Structure 1
Amino acid sequence: MAWLRVCFLALVGVVKSVDLACTDAEPQSPRDVTPGYTGDLATRYEPYGEEERRNFLQANLHFHLGAEHKNVGEYDQAPPSGDLASTVAPGLFCNPDALSPAEKAPYNFQHCKNVSVGLTYEFHWVFSSGAPGQLADDGSEGELGIADGLGGAFARTVNADVVVRGQVCLIYNNASLDTAAKIEADYADFLTKWRSPSAGQAVKYVGSTTGSSYNDNVCSPAEVNWHVDLKCCKLSAQAFDRTCQAMYDEGLREDLKPKGSRPPVDRRWVADVTFPLQPVCEIPFREGNTN
């Protein structure tokens, strides 16, 4: 069964023995999610929605410098000039003019690495049918069973179904969050839950894993059901740092800093349709449920 192990390792990014040409690949991500934008590749099935996602377990949370996806009028700007606090490949950005001078004030991050106020990050919550789930003890993956990278998504099966929530956020300094209780309320368990989009403000589509190792020539072999918020959210630096603290407490180390962004892929490699994502009520993560 050596071939099975090689396939598994290739899927989770530990090894990549042969590059997959985009001409041979299924629909890719990230993509332009601007309403009305269409790709050239046929969608073979309707992607999983929120009801299905709630049956999966969270495997990871990570974030990219800039938006990997694109939505004209929301997150479509070129990277700003100057210090991006990181050397990884940047994606697209929200309009920084949405922030007041006070909201642009620097913040001393204690837990997140190589991040800055005024910049845009795309957060990815990875849910999988193959995730390990909660651990019975204080193992290295922590209480939730989440881990750095995508390996946890395939921990129990090599052909796992994967749902990834993507949310693009502009980071601002909220000086009014001057107590731990206020920060905790604003954080609102961002480790496991995104800022729930309003009805009609999110889409789902069939795509792939992302990251700066792929482009319009070399494509990802791993399929993903994507849920993407169409709006640029504002996330306080305080809540962002609290999220990284929670990630650290769960055993994550490498994902406390931003990953590089893959540019939106050419429409030749994009699914022909997106579907509206119908929101459902969020349920806080507790032992015994899967959110």
Structure 2
Amino acid sequence: MDRRPRNAVAGLLMLVLGVVVVALTQTNNPSSATFELTAGEKDGGDETPPMVRRDRNLDENEGTTAPTTATESSTTAPTTVTESSTTGPSQAPPTWSPTRYQGPNPCEGKRPDLPNALCFVEGIPQTGEQAPANVTEGYLGLRDTLGVVPVTVPFWQVASCPVGVYWKLGAEHYSYGEYDETGTGPMEDASSDDVRQGYQCQHYDASDPKFTTEFDWQHCDGMTVGQTYEIQWPHSAAGACGTIWQYQHPFLDGVFCRDSVLVDTAAELGVQAQVFTVVNDDSYYYHDLMRGMIVDEYSDRGTDVAMYTGSYTLGGGLDNTVCSQFTPLTWHVDRKCHLISASSMDKLCEDMKRQSDDFITGVALSPQSARELVSDNLAANNQVSGGAGTAIGK
């Protein structure tokens, strides 16, 4: 019998079987099969972008490398955030120098030459309304502002940004029952020849360790646990808002950085003010005092705000005889006194050291002298009240 047809069929079956085996092998082998690129590979690589730590020196972010694995990224990042929010200031940055940032400071020397002046000459006012005023609810001064009114919305809504920050020894303003002549502190009067102490809050308790345990200050100068301070944040629509030169020292350089845009100073210039007693207790830690008043209705911070027009108060020699000519501008003042941790203040000083302008040289990191409360005939008759969020400066 002729067996060639049967052999031909067997050969054909073997060929088909071989093709099937090869196909199955390629399907199960990713090295030889076609596959879809992941999103990261389509973009040119699967490297995770570096994490920027906001509480560190800007220079440290340069050259930051990505985590080697997804596991490292997810485990190390939360640790960094936790350290920032609980321990306060980190290691001190390098000493400031003019060559730290490239290019000239566009705001340097922009402060106008407006010397202080006598408040009255033969009973006639020589300047506009003054600050600090009594901010107790219901108070109105006697100075007629002739229709000038304070800004009653958040400063950012009128295109103003914070251009500086400083604090007064004691409360410069007066709020009955919160910071007034009955307040107490670690010293009856911490004034010196150059720095006058204002009012104290009602919180100090010499039997409570958080008011008496000293803090190891790394960045601020001349600070005392248990003491009352009033932090002030000047705002301006003529500042270098959104740039590395936004914060200036002296702050008036920042206020008038783009002075040609100013038309109505009461509407375009302002100051936020908030009063604190410093405690050595990190449960009162707040991570960012650089950007403005703390507004938090759950902790009653920034929820009862007095708004009026007045003057700048920084600078020596101001009282009820000698007045500032930097007026009118809007003040937003929290009527309540709050507790703040010493580490929060030290973190603020650290943040100030990291600005493009020089906050290290001079007294920018120390308490400033509080001007005495202005008399009724220098205080504006236009004070109004605001609720939660009115004065937020974020």
Q: TM-score range by the shorter chain?
A: 0.7 to 0.9
Question: In 2, are the aligned partners of 1:59 and 1:145 still within 8 Å (CA)?
Answer: yes
Structure 2 counterpart of 1:165:
272
Please say which of residues 41-50 and 23-32 is displaced more in the overlay.
41-50
- The CA distance in 2 between the partners of 1:98 and 1:227, in whole Å, is 29
The verdict on how the C-alpha distance between 1:190 and 1:83 changes in structure 2, with shifts beyond 3 A counting, is same
- The CA distance in 2 between the partners of 1:102 and 1:235, in whole Å, is 14
The verdict on how the C-alpha distance between 1:207 and 1:46 changes in structure 2, with shifts beyond 3 A counting, is same
The verdict on how the C-alpha distance between 1:280 and 1:72 changes in structure 2, with shifts beyond 3 A counting, is closer
Among 296, 302, 309, which residue is 1:206 paired with? 309
Please say which of residues 249-258 and 123-132 is displaced more in the overlay.
249-258
Which amino acid in structure 1 is aligned with residue 140 of structure 2?
T
Structure 1 counterpart of 2:349:
244
Structure 1 counterpart of 2:338:
233
TM-score of the superposed pair, with normalisation by structure 2 = 0.60
Question: SS state of the match for residue 163, structure 2?
Answer: strand
Structure 1 counterpart of 2:136:
34
Among 66, 79, 85, which residue is 2:170 paired with? 66
- The CA distance in 2 between the partners of 1:192 and 1:40, in whole Å, is 33
Among 119, 122, 143, which residue is 1:21 paired with? 119
Q: Which runs of 5+ in 2 are unaligned?
A: 1-108
Alignment pair present for 1:93 and 2:192: no
Cα deviation, residue 98, structure 1? 5.2
Cα deviation, residue 282, structure 1? 9.0
- The CA distance in 1 between the partners of 2:390 and 2:151, in whole Å, is 16
Structure 2 counterpart of 1:139:
none
Structure 2 counterpart of 1:148:
249
Which amino acid in structure 1 is aligned with residue 324 of structure 2?
S
Cα deviation, residue 61, structure 1? 0.6
Structure 2 counterpart of 1:266:
375
Question: In 1, are the aligned partners of 2:332 and 2:391 still within 8 Å (CA)?
Answer: no
Q: Which runs of 5+ in 1 are unaligned?
A: 1-5, 136-142, 178-182, 284-289
Which amino acid in structure 1 is aligned with residue 313 of structure 2?
T
- The CA distance in 2 between the partners of 1:148 and 1:244, in whole Å, is 13
Cα deviation, residue 26, structure 1? 1.2
Which amino acid in structure 2 is aligned with residue 271 of structure 1?
A
Structure 1 counterpart of 2:233:
125
Question: In 2, are the aligned partners of 1:85 and 1:116 still within 8 Å (CA)?
Answer: no
Spell out the pairing of 1:105-120 with structure 2 (5 A cutoff).
Answer: 105-120=213-228
Question: In 2, are the aligned partners of 1:132 and 1:145 still within 8 Å (CA)?
Answer: yes
CA-based RMSD of the aligned residues comes to 2.8
Among 38, 46, 49, which residue is 2:152 paired with? 49
Query: CA-to-partner distance for each residue in 1:37-56, whole Å, 9 max, x for gaps?
Result: 22111232321123444421
Question: SS state of the match for residue 256, structure 1?
Answer: coil
The verdict on how the C-alpha distance between 1:282 and 1:229 changes in structure 2, with shifts beyond 3 A counting, is closer
Question: In 2, are the aligned partners of 1:200 and 1:276 still within 8 Å (CA)?
Answer: no
Which amino acid in structure 1 is aligned with residue 256 of structure 2?
F
- The CA distance in 1 between the partners of 2:117 and 2:274, in whole Å, is 28
- The CA distance in 2 between the partners of 1:232 and 1:282, in whole Å, is 16
Cα deviation, residue 163, structure 1? 1.1
Of structures 1 and 2, the one with the larger relative CO (CA 8 A, separation 6+) is 1
Please say which of residues 22-31 and 66-75 is displaced more in the overlay.
22-31
Question: In 1, are the aligned partners of 2:228 and 2:278 still within 8 Å (CA)?
Answer: yes
How many aligned positions are there?
Answer: 260
Rg comparison, structure with higher value: 2
